[in-house]
A and B are shown apart, each in its own frame.
Chain A
């Protein structure tokens, strides 16, 4: 298996622009997680899905953030409008079960100017 795939790997944008991050989980994994990592706040869980259904989005910082999972092999995290404080590394991870081992994608390094 190719593992979790994320795109783009790097994104530089200007404040106010829309940013869309993409993720393809490992085939057969029922759970998909979106994380944000910064030096100050560490690894934060933003939202997670089970069988394409959002289960808990309490970690989403603001209404500017939204996530979808239209099918078992694709998810997006969108920021609209983006702000400089959104600059971080965004990871997608997938797992077979809710509390089981998660496998992370390479991450998207976002810089909002």
Chain B
């Protein structure tokens, strides 16, 4: 089967850096994706890692280590608007499997 583990909640201060970890178990691994969902909104795609290493998109970066079945999402220069839930999702030869999400609260 497939499973993902990520922390349920994280709190960080505005302007700081926060890392959200994700570990997974799957077969036929394609890649690891990250989605953001604001309260009342829909999940929106943030980033994708198909190969080991770091992918950077503005203030957000995502990292993957396939040998460790581990990835993380790094958010820099946190803003209040970054308060949301963040989901990691594993792609394989089946539809994406989503983690249960990490609720990030950014405080002043």
Contacts and interface: CB of A to CB of B under 8 A. Distances in A.
Contacts, number: 46
B28 to A, nearest CB: 8
Interface in A85-113: 91, 93, 95, 98-107
A42 B6 CA distance: 13
Contact count band on A: 20 to 34
Given A43-B87, A43-B98, A91 B42 contact: yes
Interface in B87-104: 87, 89, 91-96, 98, 100-101
Contact of A33 (B33, B95, B100): B95
A113 B31 CA distance: 41
Given A43-B98, A98-B94, A91 B30 contact: no
Given A98-B94, A99-B95, A104 B87 contact: no
Interface stretch (B13-21, B43-51, B62-70): B43-51
Majority secondary structure of chain A interface residues (helix, strand, loop or mixed): strand
Contacts of B33: 101
B84 to A, nearest CB: 14
A103 B95 contact: no
Contact of B93 (A95, A98, A102): A98
B94 A99 contact: yes
B42 A100 contact: no
Interface in A48-74: 48, 56
Contacts of B28: 99
Interface of A: 31, 33, 42-43, 45, 48, 56, 91, 93, 95, 98-107
